[in-house]
Chain A
């Protein structure tokens, strides 16, 4: 399954990229699985996604929770809590 990942604000800077295409290993079906896969990269990925830091996930441009099901071609964005207005 192929997904597009987008990172914004502090996470974009910490990860050193705004976007990447990822082919997910068999068995990753949910947002939770994808986040665990990213956190397993270690270093800043583990610090931001598997530690105390708070972040949000959007699936296909809608706020999503960890149980949301991924699909081929999904657009998944990971970002800090929003601070507009």
Chain B
């Protein structure tokens, strides 16, 4: 990720967590918006564990991560979003350990005065999380465990943002 212009990081509320426990959407929404009446929109993305991937039955998913680097990478991604869009707050929660189909795996909340920034920044954060945050998925199938391979489409999804943001805001800056 390119170096951030440090002086332009606004005072958005940034929260990241890596945890085995499930999260509660309402609780996290309230925590992010508490005391800030300037927020007009919060977008939420919740990723779930699927039971089917690449035509194999997935019985369970095991999430490994790199303690220390993971938290730093998530904060960096949230900061990067807060530089590019006028945000009031970001909350990212990613679960680790053993998860099962239907379980929530990741939560991204983005708060802004307006919906467009909240929608776009949320998608931006998920695209970068998928290529930058050190998590690895292992799928458990009836035939045994298998590490999930990274997908090229995840990299092209992250790469598109450089173009989008440059075109909209000119040289990665916004007013």
Whether a CB of chain B sits under 8 angstroms from the CB of A81 is: yes
Contact of A9 with B132 in the complex, beta carbons under 8 Å? no
With A8-B64, A9-B64, A9-B147 in contact, do A82 and B130 touch (Cβ < 8 Å)? yes
At the interface with chain A, which of B21-29, B66-74, B80-88, B165-173?
B66-74
With A9-B147, A10-B147 in contact, do A83 and B136 touch (Cβ < 8 Å)? yes
A84 interface neighbour in B68, B135, B149, Cβ under 8 Å: B135
CA distance in complex: A58, B132 (Å): 11
Interface size of A by CB at 8 A reads 17
**Which residues on the B side are within 8 Å of A6 (C-beta)?**
66
Whether a CB of chain B sits under 8 angstroms from the CB of A79 is: yes
Contact of A77 with B66 in the complex, beta carbons under 8 Å? yes
Size bracket of the B interface: 20 to 34
Contact of A84 with B65 in the complex, beta carbons under 8 Å? yes
**Which residues on the A side are within 8 Å of B52 (C-beta)?**
none
Contact of A8 with B66 in the complex, beta carbons under 8 Å? yes
**Which residues on the A side are within 8 Å of B66 (C-beta)?**
6, 8, 58, 61, 77, 79
Whether a CB of chain B sits under 8 angstroms from the CB of A63 is: yes
Contact of A83 with B72 in the complex, beta carbons under 8 Å? no
CA distance in complex: A8, B107 (Å): 23
Smallest Cβ-Cβ distance to B47: which chain A residue? A85
With A10-B147, A58-B69 in contact, do A82 and B64 touch (Cβ < 8 Å)? no
Q: What are 11 A-B interface contacts by the 8 Å CB criterion?
A: A8-B134, A9-B136, A9-B138, A9-B147, A62-B69, A81-B149, A83-B135, A84-B94, A84-B130, A84-B135, A84-B136
